[in-house]
Chain A
Amino acid sequence: MTVETITEEKTDEEIDLDPVWRVVVLNDPVNLMNYVVMVFQKVLGFEEARAIRHMREVHEKGRSIVWSGGRERAETFAYQLQHWRLQTILERDD
């Protein structure tokens, strides 16, 4: 019982210390709209409507937060999006 309580407290502490990272795609004048939609579907697993919504946000506002969460997965997504040559950055949500 005591052990379980300690374990649980430690997990909570770890969650509190682990910051949220945002994967942000920036606009560029080169990539085709349907290319960006396809990449969002392939890399992030978005449904078409969601992919189109984010593509439009990139196009109209210059950037879109396409994912947020733990650093490791955020890095994986950012890496894959960069591999597809989308201008992608990571931001720490402080």
Chain B
Amino acid sequence: MIEFQLQVDSRITRAVAPLIVKCFSDCGKVSNPSFPYPEEQDKDLAEAWKNSLREEMLQDRQSLARFLNNPKFAHGHVELREDGAEFILRAITEVRLHIRESCLQSFSDSELESGEFSLPHKPRDQQSFYLAYLVLAEVQEGLIARMV
């Protein structure tokens, strides 16, 4: 079992937990993620490649759904079985990619990488998404540190 407490104020975690669940739900509705198959002209192989990845992503998402449904998460407590950590890591990456693409338009890539910007000067709705993005990164950091 992997267990740890996020180093984030629990008020922030409680506030963004519902937003994370919403982002997770929204990104699951994207039915056609762009996974480039090397030779797009081979339509059958390209479709088989995408379908196979979609199936694996579904498994990742189911693990993350169980994780997010744990009421302890809203209080900043991470608790999961070790054999589920990889699924959750991948699914969180998908949610973070979705947040970046759909909800953080006012942030430049360099701002996101460096963290050097003024959060109060960003649009109010995007501030919350940024916090959700950070909390998910914190979960990933904690998991990776305990998996290595």
Knowing A29-B100, A84-B93, say if A21 contacts B144 (CB, 8 Å).
no
Residues of A in contact with B, size category: 20 to 34
In the complex, whether B35 has a CB less than 8 A from a CB of chain A is yes
Which B residues are CB-close (under 8 A) to A52?
none
Q: Using known A-B contacts A38-B147, A75-B38, A79-B53, determine if residue A85 contacts B140 with beta carbons closer than 8 Å.
A: no
A84 to B112, CA, bound (A): 20
Residues on A with beta carbons closer than 8 Å to the beta carbon of B53 = 79, 82-83
Tell me the B30-69 residues at the A interface (CB within 8 Å): 35-36, 38, 49, 52-53, 56-57
- Residues on A lying within 8 angstroms of B by beta carbon are 21, 28-32, 34-35, 38, 75, 78-79, 82-85, 88-90, 92
Of B90, B147, B148, the contact of A83 (CB 8 Å cutoff): B90
B3 proximal to A (CB < 8 A):
no
**What is the chain B residue whose CB lies nearest that of A71?**
B38
- Using A30-B96, A79-B52, A85-B94 as known contacts, list a sample of 12 further A-B pairs with CB atoms less than 8 Å apart, ordered by residue number in A: A29-B100, A30-B97, A30-B112, A32-B137, A34-B141, A35-B89, A35-B144, A38-B144, A38-B147, A79-B53, A83-B53, A84-B90
Interface of B is mostly: helix
Q: How many A-B residue pairs have CB under 8 A?
A: 49
Interface residues on B, range: 20 to 34
Kindly name the residue among A21, A84, A88 whose own CB sees the greatest number of chain B CB atoms within 10 A.
A84
In this complex, the member of A30, A32, A75, A88 whose beta carbon has the largest number of chain B beta carbons within 10 angstroms is A30
A35 with B140: CB separation less than 8 A: yes
> What separation, in Å, do the CA atoms of A84 and B93 have in the docked complex?
8
Tell whether B113 is near chain A: CB-to-CB under 8 Å.
yes
List residues of chain A with CB within 8 A of the CB of B97. Answer: 28, 30, 85
Residues of chain B within 8 A (CB-CB) of A28 are 97
A79-B49, A89-B38 are contacts. A29–B112 as well, Cβ < 8 Å?
yes
Task: Report B88 CB to chain A, min CB distance, Å.
Answer: 12
Closest CB of chain A to B65's CB: distance in Å?
17
In the complex, B109 has a CB within 8 A of chain A? yes
Which residues of A have CB within 8 Å of B113? 29
Instruction: With CB as the reference atom, state the residue of chain B lying closest to A48.
Output: B148
- Which chain B residues (111-148) contact chain A, with CB distance < 8 Å? 112-113, 137, 140-141, 144-145, 147-148
